């Protein structure tokens, strides 16, 4: 690793560019910004930077990032190692990274890098790596501020002393006052081009930040004509500059020529590529231009941001588009775009990126259906069920019908997380045919856990078709996982094993191997594969993943299957797993097939639990009793059921007593369980 660590304006990027000119290696340059703190996004951009030298790397990283940033770093290491020829990866402005996961994985890249890879980190502060360890291993070359400071001879050359009339004493004074700081010397040289009294200037100049700021805001901007000044302020809203983008934002047609002239004449404009297409302002200049723009043209800034947003949207640069829409005050469009791209981002593991963008929306998700949906899904996937229910309520209240199916899908998953299978099925019954794999998977889950296997199989096929066309690796992994459960519960063990193997195989090749729902496929393998070592490994993996599951059905079912297998081999851990499953299922208003499966397993191993469902009804259920029975899987109280049916509370209580007697059960949950067994629900 080459560590170039020095303050702003020290010439770090200029040094690295000059060094690269002398090398024949392939170069990938990643310009870090604040949004790259997301580990998934960071490594995706590393892969994109290296794509020209290492073809196929972006696809490889996209598939492996679901296994974590360490897996992505390992992927880069392995892919670069197999490439013939040297590769240089430059990561500029690394000080903007604060994520511990990114730091750890980059240090792993540096420590384990192949011989043909050089990593160059340009930063204002040292990264939190074990630098001493790298020094001892001779894996580190350091360039510090002292190395970058200009000596007197270099300062004389940079200031073009002969042309500006600077004598040795004046050069020495400027060198002393700037302490050899490159930016200070550059700014001093620029200020002397307009016939300034050289001696007077040198006497007054100090290389501290305040004077530099005063220079940039007063002397530099005042030295250009009004049109040039206006354009500089206009384009200050941009993080990166290109000719076509400037044309769009400023309403001109000479953006490319203007930018080329600016870069050629101003050392505070830095090229970001070798084609002269993209540039950026030096950070000091950019920040001060933005301050000046906020002071002089505040009324124009929203329009400039919205023009930039439109251009980036048209050119598929959605991150930049969203940021500009937010800065331009169009939060609704930003929220819509976040929602449109959230599924792909979340599937790529970029949770931090989505959360950061949502945070910038302020309280919009409290009244905007689409951004509320994204908040709800993230809350659900991270186990924050109260938050998921809240944002589901917001989305349902404000949905204009555009996202009705997606809102319903979130509702299904929220109710499943609460163990309320009946409420989930009620929502599923109101959905139209799914158009996205996320919607289809929700329907698969509800119908699978309810034991409605014919419907579940139909939605599995739809999920696979939609998952293949989108594509969604999550859907292509989970659909066969649910199919494995369906077939195992239907007595088709060999077919179940095939589906489980397909689910696990796809997961490991496409970055979803850590998904909690993959535990179902591992659990089915633990009950179906012939090799005892493979069964044991599958069982351990199933329990590990299931404990992360966001709903009780997956966890309860996996614990039941693995506990069953353990009891069969007289492993005392089996009984404990079954007790844990029972505790989980007993909290569900409607446990569905998981309750039935657990009861069978408990009975087979002679463990205390729920009795298996009876084979026949004591007495037929009447139509009025059936109307009440259909509400029992929900979370509605008896009073609320009475309100729904427009009858008295006493009437509902009377019907419930009759239902319990006829089903030969002692309570509501047992009634639901037995009614499902008899096909009454």
According to the model, what pLDDT value does residue 214 have?
Answer: 66
pLDDT digit string, tens, across residues 264-298: 766 678 778 777 789 988 776 787 789 889 989 99
Which residues are CB-neighbours of 218 under 8 A, at least 6 positions away?
none
Confidence check: pLDDT of 473 > 80: yes
Beta-ladder partners of 279: 241, 271
- The CA distance from 228 to 600, in Å, is 80
According to the model, what pLDDT value does residue 448 have?
Answer: 95
Question: DSSP string spanning 95-162?
Answer: GG---HHHHHHHHHHHHH--TTEEEEEEESS--SS-HHHHHHTT--EEEEHHHHS--HHHHHHHTTHH
CATH class of 623-677: mainly alpha
Q: Is 269 helix (H, G, I), strand (E, B) or coil?
A: strand
SS (H, E, C) 153-186: HHHHHHCCHHHHCCCHHHHHHHHHHHCCCHHHHH
pLDDT digit string, tens, across residues 204-237: 665 444 556 666 666 566 667 888 889 999 999 9
According to the model, what pLDDT value does residue 207 have?
Answer: 47
- pTM, entire model: 0.69
Beta-ladder partners of 280: 270
- Pair 108, 73: CB distance under 8 Å: yes
- Pair 663, 674: CB distance under 8 Å: yes
Q: Is 323 helix (H, G, I), strand (E, B) or coil?
A: helix
pLDDT digit string, tens, across residues 632-680: 887 778 998 888 888 898 999 999 999 988 888 888 877 887 887 777 8
Given the DSSP bridges, would you call strands 26-31 and 87-92 parallel, antiparallel or unpaired?
parallel
According to the model, what pLDDT value does residue 266 have?
Answer: 66
Q: In Å, how far from its chain's centre is CA 196?
A: 53
According to the model, what pLDDT value does residue 204 have?
Answer: 65
- The CA distance from 488 to 648, in Å, is 43
Which residues are CB-neighbours of 402 under 8 A, at least 6 positions away?
369, 370
- The CA distance from 26 to 333, in Å, is 40
Q: Which two tokens stand for residue 414?
A: 């929220």
CATH class of 2-144: alpha beta
- The CA distance from 95 to 110, in Å, is 16
pLDDT digit string, tens, across residues 342-356: 877 776 667 888 888
Q: Give me the mean pLDDT over the 377-398 stretch.
A: 88
Q: How many percent of the chain have pLDDT more than 90?
A: 45
According to the model, what pLDDT value does residue 632 have?
Answer: 85
* Domain 2-144 matches domain 472-604 at the CATH topology level: no
Which residues are CB-neighbours of 531 under 8 A, at least 6 positions away?
none
List the chain domain ranges: 2-144, 152-222, 313-361, 363-439, 472-604, 623-677
Task: Using pLDDT thresholds of 50, 70 and 90, give the confidence band for residue 483.
Answer: very high
Q: Is the dihedral of CA 632, 637, 642, 645 positive or negative?
A: negative
Mean pLDDT of the chain: 86
- Pair 326, 312: CB distance under 8 Å: no
- Token pair 């899987």: residue: 633
Question: DSSP string spanning 381-443?
Answer: HTT-HHHHHHHHHHHHHH--STTHHHHHHHHHHHHHHTTBHHHHHHHHTT--S-SSHHHHHHH
**What is the CATH code of the structural domain delimited by 472-604?**
1.25.40
Q: Give me the mean pLDDT over the 145-159 stretch.
A: 85
> How does DSSP classify residue 90?
E
Question: DSSP string spanning 463-514?
Answer: HHHHHHHTT-HHHHHHHHHHHHHHHHHTT-HHHHHHHHHHHHHHHHHTT-TT
In Å, how far are 38, 72, 202, 317, 477 from 59, measured between CA atoms? 18, 11, 55, 19, 18
- The CA distance from 263 to 601, in Å, is 74
Count CB atoms within 10 A of the CB of residue 456.
21
Confidence check: pLDDT of 192 > 70: no
pLDDT digit string, tens, across residues 4-29: 998 777 888 889 988 988 877 789 99
Task: Using pLDDT thresholds of 50, 70 and 90, give the confidence band for residue 493.
Answer: very high
Element (H, E) at 62: helix 57-64
Confidence check: pLDDT of 303 > 90: yes
The phi-psi region of residue 201 (left if phi > 0; otherwise alpha if psi is between -120 and 50; otherwise beta) is: alpha
Confidence check: pLDDT of 444 > 70: yes
Beta-ladder partners of 26: 87
Question: DSSP string spanning 514-555?
Answer: T-GGGHHHHHHHHHH-S-HHHHHHHHHHHHHHHTT-SSHHHH
């Amino acid at each position: 690793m080459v560590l170039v660590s020095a303050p702003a304006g020290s010439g770090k990027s200029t040094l690295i560019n000059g060094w690269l000119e002398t090398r024949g290696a392939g170069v990938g340059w990643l310009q870090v910004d604040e949004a790259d703190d997301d580990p998934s996004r960071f490594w995706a951009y590393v892969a994109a930077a290296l794509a020209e030298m290492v073809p196929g790397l972006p696809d490889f990283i996209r598939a492996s990032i679901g296994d974590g940033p360490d897996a992505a770093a390992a992927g880069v290491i392995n892919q670069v190692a197999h490439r013939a020829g040297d590769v240089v990866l430059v990561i500029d402005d690394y000080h903007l990274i604060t994520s511990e996961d990114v730091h750890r994985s980059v240090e792993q890249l540096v420590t384990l890098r192949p011989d043909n890879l050089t990593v160059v980190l340009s930063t204002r502060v040292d990264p939190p790596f074990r630098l001493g360890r790298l020094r001892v291993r001779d894996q580190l070359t350091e360039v510090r501020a002292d190395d970058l400071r200009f000596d007197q001879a270099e300062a004389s050359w940079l200031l073009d002393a002969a042309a500006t009339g600077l004598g040795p004493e004046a050069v020495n004074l400027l060198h002393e006052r700037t302490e050899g700081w490159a930016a200070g010397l550059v700014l001093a040289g620029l200020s002397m081009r307009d016939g300034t009294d050289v001696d007077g200037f040198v006497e007054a100049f100090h290389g501290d930040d305040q004077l530099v700021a005063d220079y940039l805001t007063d002397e530099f901007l005042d030295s250009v004509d009004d049109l040039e000044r206006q354009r500089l302020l206009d384009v200050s809203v941009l993080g990166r500059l290109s000719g076509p983008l400037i044309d769009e934002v400023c309403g001109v047609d000479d953006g490319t020529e203007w930018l080329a002239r600016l870069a050629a004449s101003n050392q505070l404009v830095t090229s970001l590529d070798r084609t002269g297409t993209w540039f950026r302002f030096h950070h000091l200049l950019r920040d001060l231009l933005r301050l000046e723009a906020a002071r002089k043209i505040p009324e124009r800034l929203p329009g400039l941001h919205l023009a930039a947003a439109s251009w980036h949207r048209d050119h598929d640069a959605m991150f930049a588009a969203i940021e500009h829409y937010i800065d331009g005050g169009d939060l609704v469009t930003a929220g819509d775009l976040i929602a449109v791209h959230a599924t792909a981002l979340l599937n790529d593991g970029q949770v931090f990126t989505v959360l950061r963008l949502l945070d910038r929306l302020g309280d919009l998700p409290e009244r905007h259906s689409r951004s509320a949906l994204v908040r709800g899904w993230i809350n659900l996937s991270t186990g924050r069920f109260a938050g998921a229910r809240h944002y589901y309520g917001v989305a349902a209240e404000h949905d204009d019908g555009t996202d009705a199916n997606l809102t319903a899908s979130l509702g299904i998953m929220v109710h499943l997380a609460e163990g309320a299978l009946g409420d989930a099925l009620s929502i599923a019954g109101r959905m139209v045919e799914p158009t996205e794999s996320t919607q289809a998977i929700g329907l698969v889950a509800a119908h699978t856990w309810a034991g409605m296997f014919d419907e579940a199989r139909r939605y599995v096929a739809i999920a696979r078709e939609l998952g293949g066309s989108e594509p969604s690796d999550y859907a292509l992994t989970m659909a066969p996982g649910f199919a494995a459960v369906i077939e195992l519960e239907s007595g088709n063990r060999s077919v179940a094993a095939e589906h489980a193997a397909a689910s696990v195989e796809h997961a490991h090749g496409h970055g979803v191997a850590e998904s909690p729902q993959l535990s179902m496929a591992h659990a089915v393998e633990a009950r179906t594969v012939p090799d005892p070592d493979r069964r044991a490994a599958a069982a351990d993996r199933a329990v590990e993943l299931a404990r992360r599951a966001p709903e009780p059905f997956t966890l309860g079912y996996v614990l039941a299957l693995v506990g069953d297998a353990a009891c069969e081999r007289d492993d005392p851990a089996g009984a404990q797993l079954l007790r844990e499953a029972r505790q989980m299922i007993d909290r569900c208003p409607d446990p569905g097939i998981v309750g039935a499966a657990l009861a069978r397993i408990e009975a087979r191993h002679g463990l205390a639990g729920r009795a298996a469902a009876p084979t026949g009804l004591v007495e037929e259920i009447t139509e009025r009793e059936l109307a009440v029975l259909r509400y029992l899987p929900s979370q509605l109280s008896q009073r609320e059921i009475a309100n729904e049916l427009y009858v008295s509370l006493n009437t509902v209580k009377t019907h419930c007593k009759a239902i319990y007697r006829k089903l030969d059960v002692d309570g509501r949950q047992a009634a639901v369980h037995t009614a499902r067994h008899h096909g009454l629900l």
